[in-house]
Amino acid sequence: MMQFGIFSVGDVTMDPTTGRTPTEHERIKAMVAIALKAEEVGLDVFATGEHHNPPFVPSSPTTMLGFIAARTERITLSTATTLITTNDPVKIAEDFAMLQHLADGRVDLMLGRGNTGPVYPWFGQDIRQGIPLAIENYALLHQLWREDVVDWKGRFRTPLQGFTSTPRPLDGVPPFVWHGSIRSPEIAEQAAYYGDGFFANNIFWPKEHFIRLITLYRRRYAHYGHGTPEQAIVGLGGQVFMRKNSQDAVREFRPYFDNAPVYGHGPSLEEFAEETPLTVGSPQQVIDRTLTFRESFGDYQRQLFLMDHAGLPLKTVLEQLDILGEEVVPVLRREFAAGRPAEVPGAPTHASLLTARPSEPAAG
């Protein structure tokens, strides 16, 4: 099954229409309310970012996701992204395995390098080693989840002798890993090597660039023997704002766009929407635009939308999720399923990975 969900950056941004900035406490509680709403309206995934500087609140994703896990039943909890460069891979292994148990397997994670320069020195690392850190740290994380006792020596972390990461992954199945990237072919190659997912956060860049990255990932996924290029596990971003009438959507969203921390004060909303997946309009326009992703990138497994940034008030975000869940995603599910080749897998879940696990020899 293809998955639809939302991902949050967790920015604390002034609402440009009222001049009011939420407190950190309000924003954290709003993120939780948004995650609960996502489950209520039938979405499959909620993912939180990880940041270590203002104006962002989510520095501790597994704490937040653990709290959400306790208050939800079905939704998969994920990250966008978990910093594989500056977090200790041992602590990632422990934290996410613990979360996986608490959430009964409704957990995966997306790894990224992070794009805030000072975070590297704050955590004792060197940004020039970004790619080597991502490679070595993930190799260790991968091993910690698959081998009960690990002897390990690397460049960036103190060696391990006879170390067991606890708790062991639920049912012996490690959380599925997505590798997120905006520009680096090395990360597409890494995802392909392990047969992990590749998430192209395409929301800020033109699609031609991502077609090249995803094509590389698919080609190398097949090269490493995980399946055909079409069977590689691809995730994409999206960014939408909807009202019944598209003019109303544009009018309401424009001040948020114009002042958005990431791209505000630059191109017009119309220019940006032309170049990137941003769609501001009616639910039907969002459906039509999202369906074009398949033409550009092939059948894929996970679609995440960015819904709650740039100072949009919680009430508006919750309304947006209602529209997304009620009017958009059901149609997308149906349309994406139609014509999807049988050999293209759905998004990996704990249940699907458990089924696919090579059977162990009977004890005896």
Partner 1 sequence: MNLVVVTAGLTQPSSTRLLADRLAEATARRIEEAGGAVEVRVIELRDLAGDIANTFVTGFAGARLRDVIDAATSADGLIAVTPIFTASYSGLFKSFFDVIGNDALVGKPVLIAATGGTARHSLALEHAMRPLFAYLRAIVTPTAVYAASEDWGGDGDATGVLSDRVARAAGELAGLLTRRHPAQNAPEAFEDVIPFEQQLAALRP
Binding site for partner 1 (CB under 8 A): 131-132, 135-136, 139, 153-155, 185-186, 188-190, 192-193, 204-206, 209, 212-213, 215-216, 220, 224, 262-267, 271-272, 274-275
Between residues 135 and 240, which has the closer beta carbon with respect to partner 1?
135
CA 4 from centroid of its chain's CA atoms = 11
- C-alpha distances (whole Å) from 350 to each of 101, 108, 143, 182, 328 are 11, 9, 18, 26, 26
Between residues 33 and 216, which has the closer beta carbon with respect to partner 1?
216
- Whether the CB-CB separation of 145 and 97 falls below 8 Å is answered with yes
Least distance in angstroms from the C-beta of 338 to partner 1: 31
Distance CA 75, CA 199 (A): 19
| Residue showing tokens 């070595």 | 136
Least distance in angstroms from the C-beta of 206 to partner 1: 6
Phi/psi of residue 265, each to 5°?
A: 65, 20
Least distance in angstroms from the C-beta of 193 to partner 1: 4
Element (H, E) at 161: strand 160-163
Between residues 22 and 89, which has the closer beta carbon with respect to partner 1?
89
Between residues 41 and 160, which has the closer beta carbon with respect to partner 1?
160
Structure token digits, residue 319: 């309304």
What are the contacts of 252-256 at 24+ separation with CB within 8 A?
252/316, 253/280, 255/16, 255/17, 256/15, 256/16, 256/17, 256/310, 256/311, 256/312
Between residues 47 and 188, which has the closer beta carbon with respect to partner 1?
188
Least distance in angstroms from the C-beta of 148 to partner 1: 22
Between residues 5 and 49, which has the closer beta carbon with respect to partner 1?
49
Phi/psi of residue 198, each to 5°?
A: -125, 120
Residue type, 305: F
Left, alpha or beta for 38 (phi > 0: left; psi -120 to 50: alpha)? alpha
Least distance in angstroms from the C-beta of 136 to partner 1: 5
Least distance in angstroms from the C-beta of 178 to partner 1: 17
